[in-house]
Structure 1
Amino acid sequence: MRLETRENLKSARASAINKIKKENCRILICAGTGCLAGGSDKIYKKLKEMAKGVEGVTLEFGEEAAHVGVHESGCHGFCEMGPLVRIEPWNYLYIKVKEEDCEEIFNTTIVKGKPVERLMYHQDEMIYKEQENIPFYAKQTRLVLKNCGQINAEDIEEYIAAGGYEALEKALFEMSPNDIVNEITKANLRGRGGGGFQTGYKWKQVASQPEKIRYVVCNGDEGDPGAFMDRSVMEGDPHKMLEGMAIAAYAVGAQEGYIYVRAEYPLAIKRLKIAIEQAEQRGLLGDNILGSGFNFRIHINRGAGAFVCGEGSALTASIEGERGMPRTKPPRTVEQGLFAKPTVLNNVETYANVSMIITNGAKWYQGIGTESSPGTKAFAITGSVNNTGLIEVPMGTTLREIVYDIGGGVKNGAEFKAVQIGGPSGGCLVSNNLDVKLDFDSLKKLGAMIGSGGLVVMDEDTCMVEVARFFMNFTQNESCGKCVPCREGTKRMLEILERIVSGNGTLEDLDLLEELGEAITATALCGLGKSAALPVLSTLKNFREEYVEHVVDKRCKTGTCQAMIKYKINPEACKGCSKCARNCPVNAISGKVKEPFIINGDKCIKCGACIENCSFGAIYTEN
């Protein structure tokens, strides 16, 4: 039904809430990309089938007939433990669920209201029954991600029941466009895509342009390796982002919006399409929204996966059908962006914050996080940490809290070494930085940046030189090639790093790496190019001794760099059978039968064939 007035929206919200209340038992199966890969779709189908015909079954928690709702939700965040199933009203969270667990879940929990403890999270002999009490969730402040895992992502009624589109209603009928811009400015909402630019100032610039045709664009490209914050919002709570875009459009006088989302996110695209269609059918997008006279339509544009298209001018060029390459500025996007018109360009997480600010006010928002970086930030925490997944914490939360309290510490009790923050555009934080507050300004002082929010935890067995080479390889491959500093500079830096990890580096190479990195940072055309050298520069600063060890001692103490591993034969264990020599593909092993053989290190290619063929365990490696 189309909602023609704000009163219609209020009635629809009351109806949606009543509909959910009738489900005295709700089963929410995580249907984010990660859990789907683990088979959660089969779990959903199984439980859905079992719930059919459940009317009349008496549940332990009440005398009324059972009304069981089985829904596919978005990402719950605790990806390490997926597939995940949440059951209300008990708020039980079942982890690592398999299809064969469904009957026990249904018969024990749905029918009898009792927990299946073996499927619950255990830590230090304690069983956590309620999701909110699990340490991974207890230390978070989930605002942007609040609905993810709590509602059916493909049902607009569930979003409306959770307060959805209330902010748009308030904006349209109680605020002027200028009021909205001022509220976002007072809240000091800073862009969550990487640079931390003030959102309100950006909107104000677009609203003040003499050109009346304006656009609102959402950057859902999210190209950083390991980052999936925006994807999870698009998959799990797409309407929150759409509502933020609509409010932005009303504030700056735009009637058209575009979402640029990478084609590798098919589920996000599917759910965005469903959400847009549902919002248009109900009069929350399209013409004359809620009878206010405001028109706004949203289009989806799929990107081909170029990392550089995360940069604003490259992104808008790609939407226009041009090759995604940055351009010189000025003019900036706020002046001449999409189709050379004034354009508001923010990322998914930024738009997802907007409705909360409009509903609760700037003062409320400023009470979260730090003074210069208010609000929360979503992070994707991966790597050598016990609890990987998607988290959301107030700005200013320390790295120690994230790694040890939420992340559960480093895997296997290993020693913490570093965190790569912000993906290829970020830098390294080390053990001395564990108590540094994670906010835009604090990290900038350390030569790092929040970026889109990727956190890769590394332990003592990680080679930081190889980490730098990995990120430089990614950046060099993704360089659009338009400017010389990025195109040629990253190539030269990668060549040097490859020389170092292969055991052919020199001390002069370290100085050259720093010189090239600083030159690229100072002269590259776009923000991605300017930050391309950060992983190298930060590892050189914090782990220079590892670089020196690689170039002087020709040694990688972690054993990561294969070229530096030395294969040796223990003469006391060698029986002189010659089997290793006969199986060496490059004839690097020599000796006499029944006498100890030796390996020529200059000829050895470290293939491991000798170890595989030695029957006496006489061959070993040395880092």
Structure 2
Amino acid sequence: MIVIDQPTPGAEAAEAPVLSKHWSDDESWLLQNYVRQHGYQGLKAALAMTPDDVIELVKASGLRGRGGAGFPVGLKWSFIPQGEASAKPHYLVVNADESEPGTCKDMPLMLASPHMLVEGVIIAAYAIRASHAFIYVRGEVASVIRRLRGAVAEAYEAGLLGRNIFGSGFSLDLVVHAGAGAYICGEETALLDSLEGRRGQPRLRPPFPATAGLYASPTVVNNVESIASVPSILRNGVDWFRSMGTEKSPGFTLYSLSGHVTRPGQYEAPLGVTLRELLDRAGGIRAGHELKFWTPGGSSTPMFTAEHLDVPLDYEGVGAAGSMLGTKAVQLFDETTCVVRAVLRWTEFYKHESCGKCTPCREGTYWLVQILQRIENGDATEADLDLLTDTTDTVVGKSFCALGDGSGSPITSSLQYFRDEYVAHLDGRGCPFDPALSTVFHEGVH
């Protein structure tokens, strides 16, 4: 028998890992072990409050969405209409369709700590007065789906899901949905279409999901890490959460380091940490090499160079330096990597994953690949660099959703920092880099 009713613990150490603290524990995914880690105490605290008070607490914490945009979580919850304006049912949808190149934080979190997400779902659903919630997971990650469904089954058996949770009168049903695996379904309205059984394509907004989302009803869509961060805030309080990070980007988060780094992996740290500090923990760039360029938030964010090692990795710091924090997918490339080849690979991905709904993205990403391929092969001239810029301009800002904007980020930023390298490919010279020297693309980090 699992006893949930235990004394509420004191605040955790402010600098200690929170999301990843127990990932290495034996069978950390089991309910009995999560309860020993003070699991579901945040839910107990939430159910002792009114839903509106829970929303205000999360707003006061300053928690920002960890899925890329960084929009305040509590503010997003508050957009759900209440009272007489709330005749329709409310829904909570967790976006677990993690497919941005370089992003790999949500999957290990769900594997190691699924109950942390489940607890966060129950709290969030209570706050927005939803009686049904969904976790939309990429269909390819069967092991994650099994782990989540096992955790949900345990929660039902323990009375943490279903009717009258903790005797509070609040009821919630939670479904783990295996998606079709398209990158575009990471866009929240395309995800909702897919969840309803239609082809995943972005919707025209307005109306926004807060008023007409899933089944044309008020809906909140949040990222996995955003929801998983909520229980610790309810458990430890606003001041505890705000003691980490920065004033405008408070709290902790997961940074995914991949590529030419000695110890790639997930590194949990307060927002505002620098890449230099993260590299100290990760053993630095692989032996005998030096950093050339890197992405702060996945391939859809403008790239940085070694000159940006001390940029604070929070939403304001990265934005001021000319990029976006995004999903904190830090891809690192050393001097053996051809920038043109890297950008070509990323652009091929966006071409393949374009849903085809709008002409700028559908046609533009195709032609971007053609131009980049000519440059990489040495079949281009200086005029093709101007054509590359012009074609990028026809996609960025003109597409139906952010996929088009993201596809242009690596192109414009690489031309800004490495135009000479593009020029070195022109007029029959081709790529000056030996692909055998760079292990990144051979090891599947893309």
TM-score range, shorter-chain basis?
A: over 0.9
Aligned-pair identity (%) = 40
Cα deviation, 1:110-151, whole Å, max 9, x if unaligned, reads xxxxxxxxxxxxxxxxxxxxxxxxxxxxxx852111221225
Q: Against the structure 1 CA distance between its residues 494 and 447, is the aligned structure 2 distance closer, same or farther, given a 3 Å change threshold? A: farther
1:442 has 2:442 as partner? no
Q: Secondary structure at the match of 1:157?
A: helix
1:221–1:310 CA contact under 8 A, matched in 2: yes
Query: Which position in structure 1 is the counterpart of 2:51?
Result: 177
Pick the aligned partner of 1:530 from 401, 405, 429. 405
Cα deviation, 1:347-392, whole Å, max 9, x if unaligned, reads 1100111011111112221111111111122122111111111111
1:501 has 2:370 as partner? no
Pick the aligned partner of 1:9 from 4, 16, 23. 4
Aligned-partner Cα distance in 2 for 1:181–1:432: 40
Query: Which position in structure 1 is the counterpart of 2:415?
Result: 540
1:13–1:157 CA contact under 8 A, matched in 2: no
* Range with bigger deviation, 488-497 or 417-426: 417-426
Matches within 5 A, 1:73-472: 141-173=16-48, 175-208=49-82, 210-403=86-279, 405-472=280-347
Cα deviation, 1:475-514, whole Å, max 9, x if unaligned, reads 1100000011111111111111011001011212222222
1:487 has 2:362 as partner? yes
Which ranges of 4 or more aligned residues in structure 1 deviate by more than 4 Å? 11-14
Q: Give unpaired runs (5+ residues) of structure 2.
A: 10-14, 438-446
Aligned-partner Cα distance in 2 for 1:459–1:202: 39
Query: Which position in structure 1 is the counterpart of 2:441?
Result: none
1:424–1:474 CA contact under 8 A, matched in 2: no
Q: Against the structure 1 CA distance between its residues 511 and 445, is the aligned structure 2 distance closer, same or farther, given a 3 Å change threshold? A: farther
Aligned-partner Cα distance in 1 for 2:269–2:255: 8
Aligned-partner Cα distance in 2 for 1:180–1:330: 27
User: Counterpart of 1:146 in structure 2: which amino acid?
Assistant: K
Greater relative contact order structure (CA < 8 Å, 6+ sep) = 2
Q: Against the structure 1 CA distance between its residues 191 and 458, is the aligned structure 2 distance closer, same or farther, given a 3 Å change threshold? A: same
TM-score (norm 2): 0.92
TM-score (norm 1): 0.67
Aligned-partner Cα distance in 1 for 2:371–2:381: 9
User: Counterpart of 2:4 in structure 1: which amino acid?
Assistant: L
Aligned-partner Cα distance in 1 for 2:325–2:233: 22
1:141–1:376 CA contact under 8 A, matched in 2: no
Aligned residues: 430
Query: Which position in structure 1 is the counterpart of 2:444?
Result: none
Q: Against the structure 1 CA distance between its residues 9 and 561, is the aligned structure 2 distance closer, same or farther, given a 3 Å change threshold? A: closer
Cα deviation, 1:563-583, whole Å, max 9, x if unaligned, reads xxxxxxxxxxxxxxxxxxxxx
Could you say which structure has the larger radius of gyration? 1
1:422–1:450 CA contact under 8 A, matched in 2: yes
Cα deviation, 1:539-560, whole Å, max 9, x if unaligned, reads 1111111011112572433223
Aligned-partner Cα distance in 2 for 1:335–1:561: 52
